[in-house]
Structure 1
Amino acid sequence: MGTRIVLESADISRALTRISHEIVEANKGVSGLLIVGIPTRGSLLAQRIAALISRIAGVDIPTATLDVTMYRDDLAEKPTLAPQPSEMPIEGVDNLSVVLVDDVLYSGRTVRAALDALAEHGRPTSVRLATLIDRGHRELPIRADFIGKNLPSSRHERISLRLLEHDGVEEVAISVDDSQLVA
């Protein structure tokens, strides 16, 4: 399996800074804004985006974590997935502008699950999607509003985001899984 690094730490930082500015612009400020991360790396990215927006706007931006495990349509195929606790505002998401944050957008199925899970917490004014990597291959009509990098890839490639907080290194890599190639 060959691996190549496509984004390094500085590239990730620049992408998140740009996404943060785009969120503020699209929201016409920060009033009523809630940044919601999908575990694990989406939650870490959400915290970083909220911190960047807080620096831009001069006010604290609330964050939340939304576990989507029990809303996935492939749970039977992945029995090892263990739910993680969601940390949502006690008052819910009614009348808030929610930005869902995921690390890599692929088929759209995780985002669909997130929309179902989010509905359990109320009715937001709007829901937008931010992702560090959009790799294509959508199976559902879902698109990101804020994208760090479009990274077209083939289905036999794996996109891996590693973050300091979780992995001890900061990078996005593409790996080719030779066992997935058809002769």
Structure 2
Amino acid sequence: MPNDRAIMNASLIHRHAPQVQDMIHGMVESIVAFHQGEARLALVGIQQKGVLLAEAIRRRLEEVAPEMAVHFGELDVGLYRDDLAINPAPEMKPTIIPENLQDVGVVIVDDVIQSGRTIRAALDAILDFGRPRRIQLAVLFDRGQRQLPIQPDYVGERVDLPSDRFIVLKTLEEGEGLEVYLTKK
């Protein structure tokens, strides 16, 4: 993952904060429409950038659907990855699941989906916390190029990028809003 210096030196800013906000608003409209009438929803962001996006989605959900009880969680999928035998053990971040997920609608949130392997790991991890009524996936960017048959339910934008490019989600310094940068590996 590129560091902050690489982000600041990125040659192309892909989406500014207002554009990202519009993408999030569109995703939230779809989530609210699908989950209309449900009392509870669990948003679970994948560490690290999925957590940033999940927080933004949660804030918007609280604005437009205050009657919906939105529970928030953070998930580290490091121990569920399928490449542990060939890659070094990842640095672990906290996993905080909001409640027993038994019979609760869950939306897993990540910034980008490409191969589908991170989401496969997230599904395995979520199922260790109970049997949700339904698990859905929300991503800001869908790069395609799947290695597994996993598709997002809510997508901010579908993009076709060269494989040597990273999409990087960054919080603005003021803490209000997100920007997206495109940088090389």
TM-score by length of 1: 0.87
- Write the distance in 1 (CA, Å) between the matches of 2:158 and 2:116: 15
Q: Is the 8 A contact 1:33 1:62 kept in 2?
A: yes
- Stretches of structure 1 that go unaligned for 5 or more consecutive residues are 178-183
Please name the residue that 1:180 is paired with: none
- 1:54 pairs, out of 53, 58, 62, with 62
* Cα deviation code 1:93-151 (max 9, x no counterpart): 00100000001111100000000000100000001100011111111001111011111
| 1:130 pairs with 2:138 | yes
Residues of 1 paired with 2:129 and 2:145: CA distance? 29
Aligned to 1:85: 94
- Using the size of structure 2 for normalisation, the TM-score is 0.86
Alignment partner of 1:34 is 2:42 = yes
State the SS of the aligned residue for 2:183.
strand
Cα distance in 2 between the residues matched to 1:68 and 1:108? 13
% identical equivalent positions: 36
Corresponding residue for residue 141 of structure 1:
149
CA RMSD of aligned residues (A): 2.3
Match of residue 118, structure 2, among 101, 110, 118: 110
Task: Specify whether residues 161 and 2 from structure 1 end up closer, same or farther in structure 2 by C-alpha distance, changes over 3 A only.
Answer: closer
Whether the 8 Å contact between 1:16 and 1:132 is mirrored in structure 2 is: yes
The CA deviation at 1:171 is 2.2
Larger CA deviation: 147-156 vs 28-37: 28-37
Aligned residue type for 1:118? I
Q: Are residue 74 (structure 1) and residue 83 (structure 2) matched?
A: yes
| Inter-partner Cα distance in structure 2 for 1:172 and 1:76 | 32
**Which 4+ stretches in 1 moved above 6 angstroms?**
none
Distance 1:174 1:93, change over 3 A: same
Contact 1:24 1:30 in 2 (8 A): no
Give 2:18's aligned residue.
Answer: 10
Q: Tell me which amino acid in the other structure corresponds to 2:88.
A: P
The answer for unaligned runs of 5 or more in structure 2 is 1-8
